[in-house]
């Protein structure tokens, strides 16, 4: 326990939450070995402290310690950054360069955001983990390295494997020992301690009086989910230290910075952990888009059904087809819709037996992709004129080549031919 507290004091780690203590204890236990470690946790939970502790408590502590943010390096250059390159290996490679694995020989490399590594780089990394061997970009010479690897990610690795974005064999090779960093919302008892620590640090840094929380302010923060975790709390304290005149911070003042209506509860997936608020909003927007697309598809289906009714006539439908059409046109609207079958059935005595055929469908009805679904409301004259003008301009631009004009307009050639005939544009 004394060793654990010593580590906390040394690295400025605040808190007594059991899961946090367990993560630190595991770091101390694995440090003397060369076991590969994978740190799992949400963004802002302090994952970067774990590799520092492991390196500082290991036999490699006097050797290089290199941090690599895998998500910040462009895909085209990350192999060169990690493994180096030979002169002339690619455009701009004017000299031979050592990579991180060569520079950190004998030390520790921390691969932050390892889940963002490209698949090609994952293959190279797997070889280093298995044999300690690598080759520079543009070289055929095998080099050896003795490097301890600690990796971290906030990505759901099992989902990334299922989606084909991360190699399963590399995941298990990295995850020899897994250390989980708990989110701040689970460390309610540590929130006030962290606030006080940050308040002291920033008061000293900016030479200003220290801010402190009222009782309702403490409760307010403990009820907040902190999607940005410790990093968000730190930024919040720094901002209020500089901006606020009143040094006592209550719930009303906190609500101006982190309003509770923006503090949506985290969506929890039993198999894959929690989903951040930003991911929740993103998924909700996707659902809205799907619903709008479904509504548009239903409107298109109604328009197509109307065309079929007009083209085939009421008496040509089987009983099963009538039931399908009646389901497409809801009872409230179908009876009053002149295009619907129910309208025909309720007004048979007043309707012509075979309605006027108004169709823009091709004979090849099975080619659904090339069918233009007519809108439920007829186009206005101005829309027709604009459409005709666009077609004329596209044909003139491409000198009558209809395939090129269709590509320009973003429609199929079949649709273009139909429009040319509709607007009497035949040459």
Residue 37: give its domain's CATH number. 3.40.50.300
Rounded mean pLDDT, 8-16: 93
Q: Which domain-ending residue is among 218, 246, 262? A: 262
Predicted local confidence at residue 18, as pLDDT: 95
In a domain, 369, yes or no: no
| Ranges 2-16, 60-74, 227-241, 382-396: which has the least confidence | 382-396
In a domain, 276, yes or no: no
Q: Note whether 216 and 312 are same-domain residues.
A: no
Classify 148 as helix, strand or coil. strand
pLDDT in tens, 269-321: 444 444 444 444 445 555 655 665 666 666 666 666 666 666 655 556 666 66
Q: Does the structure show a pLDDT above 60 at 227?
A: yes
Q: Does the structure show a pLDDT above 60 at 157?
A: yes
How does strand 248-249 pair with strand 267-269? unpaired
Predicted local confidence at residue 10, as pLDDT: 94
Q: Note whether 130 and 252 are same-domain residues.
A: no
Q: Does the structure show a pLDDT above 90 at 81?
A: yes
In a domain, 374, yes or no: no
Classify residue 316 as exposed, middle or buried by CB count within 10 Å of its CB (0-12, 13-18, 19+).
exposed
Contacts of 280 (CB under 8 A, 6+ apart): 264, 266, 267
Q: Note whether 227 and 323 are same-domain residues.
A: no
Classify 37 as helix, strand or coil. strand
Handedness of CA 66, 68, 74, 78 (dihedral sign): positive
Q: Note whether 58 and 137 are same-domain residues.
A: yes
Q: What is the CATH number of the domain that holds 403?
A: 1.10.10
Q: Does the structure show a pLDDT above 90 at 186?
A: yes
Q: Which domain-ending residue is among 245, 262, 279? A: 262
Q: Note whether 108 and 218 are same-domain residues.
A: no
Predicted local confidence at residue 409, as pLDDT: 79
Q: Note whether 44 and 166 are same-domain residues.
A: yes
Q: Note whether 236 and 326 are same-domain residues.
A: no
pLDDT in tens, 117-137: 999 999 999 999 999 999 999
Domain limits at 247?
186-262
Predicted local confidence at residue 390, as pLDDT: 83
Q: How far, in Å, are 184, 265, 328, 334, 349 from residue 346 at the CA level?
A: 65, 52, 17, 10, 8
What does R_g of the chain's alpha carbons equal in angstroms? 33
DSSP for residue 103: H
Q: Is 341:326 a contact under the CB 8 Å cutoff?
A: yes
Rounded mean pLDDT, 242-254: 94
In a domain, 371, yes or no: no
Classify residue 154 as exposed, middle or buried by CB count within 10 Å of its CB (0-12, 13-18, 19+).
buried
Round to whole Å and give the CA distance between 360 and 167.
Answer: 51
Q: Note whether 148 and 291 are same-domain residues.
A: no
Q: Which domain-ending residue is among 151, 180, 209? A: 180
Predicted local confidence at residue 265, as pLDDT: 44
| Ranges 40-49, 102-111, 256-265, 333-342: which has the least confidence | 333-342
In a domain, 212, yes or no: yes
What size, in residues, is the chain? 427
Average pLDDT along the chain:
81
Q: Note whether 352 and 402 are same-domain residues.
A: no
In a domain, 99, yes or no: yes
Q: Does the structure show a pLDDT above 50 at 251?
A: yes
| Ranges 161-165, 304-308, 418-422: which has the least confidence | 304-308
In a domain, 39, yes or no: yes
pLDDT > 70: percent of the chain: 70
pLDDT > 90: percent of the chain: 58
| Ranges 18-27, 62-71, 358-367: which has the least confidence | 358-367
Q: Note whether 25 and 85 are same-domain residues.
A: yes
In a domain, 176, yes or no: yes
How does strand 133-134 pair with strand 143-144? antiparallel
Q: Note whether 86 and 205 are same-domain residues.
A: no
**Domain total in the chain:** 4
Rounded mean pLDDT, 154-183: 96
Rounded mean pLDDT, 318-330: 60
Q: Note whether 22 and 84 are same-domain residues.
A: yes
Classify residue 108 as exposed, middle or buried by CB count within 10 Å of its CB (0-12, 13-18, 19+).
buried
pLDDT in tens, 383-415: 567 778 888 888 888 888 888 888 777 788 778
- Assign residue 296 a region (left: φ > 0; alpha: ψ between -120 and 50; beta: otherwise): alpha
């Amino acid at each position: 326990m004394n060793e654990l507290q010593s580590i906390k004091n040394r690295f400025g780690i605040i808190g007594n939450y059991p899961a946090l203590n367990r993560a630190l204890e595991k770091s101390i236990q694995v440090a003397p070995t060369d076991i590969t470690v994978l740190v799992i946790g949400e963004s802002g939970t302090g994952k970067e402290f774990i590799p520092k502790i492991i390196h500082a408590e290991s036999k490699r502590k006097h050797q290089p310690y290199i941090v690599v943010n895998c998500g910040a390096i462009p895909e085209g250059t990350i192999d060169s950054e990690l493994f180096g390159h030979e002169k002339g290996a690619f455009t701009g490679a004017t000299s031979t360069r050592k990579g991180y694995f060569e520079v950190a020989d004998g030390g520790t490399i921390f691969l932050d955001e390892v889940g963002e590594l490209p698949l090609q780089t994952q293959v190279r990394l797997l070889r280093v983990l298995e044999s300690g061997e690598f080759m520079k970009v543009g070289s055929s010479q095998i080099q050896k390295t003795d490097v301890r690897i600690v990796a971290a990610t906030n990505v759901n690795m099992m989902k990334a494997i299922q989606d084909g974005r991360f190699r399963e064999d590399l995941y298990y090779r990295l995850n020899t020992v897994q250390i989980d960093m708990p989110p701040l919302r689970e460390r309610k008892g540590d929130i006030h301690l962290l606030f006080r620590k940050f308040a002291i640090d920033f008061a000293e840094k900016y030479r200003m009086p220290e801010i402190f929380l009222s009782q309702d302010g403490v409760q307010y923060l403990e009820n907040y989910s902190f999607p940005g975790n410790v990093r968000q709390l730190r930024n919040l304290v720094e901002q209020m230290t500089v901006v606020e005149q009143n040094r006592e911070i209550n719930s009303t003042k906190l609500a101006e910075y982190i309003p509770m209506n923006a503090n949506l509860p985290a969506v929890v997936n039993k198999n894959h952990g929690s989903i951040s608020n930003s991911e929740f909003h993103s998924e909700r927007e996707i659902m809205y888009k799907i619903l709008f697309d479904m509504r548009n598809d239903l409107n298109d289906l109604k328009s197509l059904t109307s065309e079929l009714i007009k083209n085939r006539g009421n008496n040509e439908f089987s009983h099963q087809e009538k039931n399908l059409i009646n389901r497409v046109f809801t009872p409230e609207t179908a009876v009053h819709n002149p295009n619907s079958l129910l309208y025909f059935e309720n007004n048979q005595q007043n309707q012509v037996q075979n309605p006027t055929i108004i169709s823009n469908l091709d004979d090849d009805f099975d080619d659904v992709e090339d069918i233009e679904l007519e809108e439920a409301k007829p186009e206005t004259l101005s829309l027709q004129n604009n459409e005709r003008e666009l077609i004329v301009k596209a044909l003139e631009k491409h000198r009558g080549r209809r395939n090129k004009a269709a590509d320009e307009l973003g429609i199929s050639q079949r649709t273009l031919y139909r429009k040319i005939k509709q607007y009497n544009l035949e040459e």
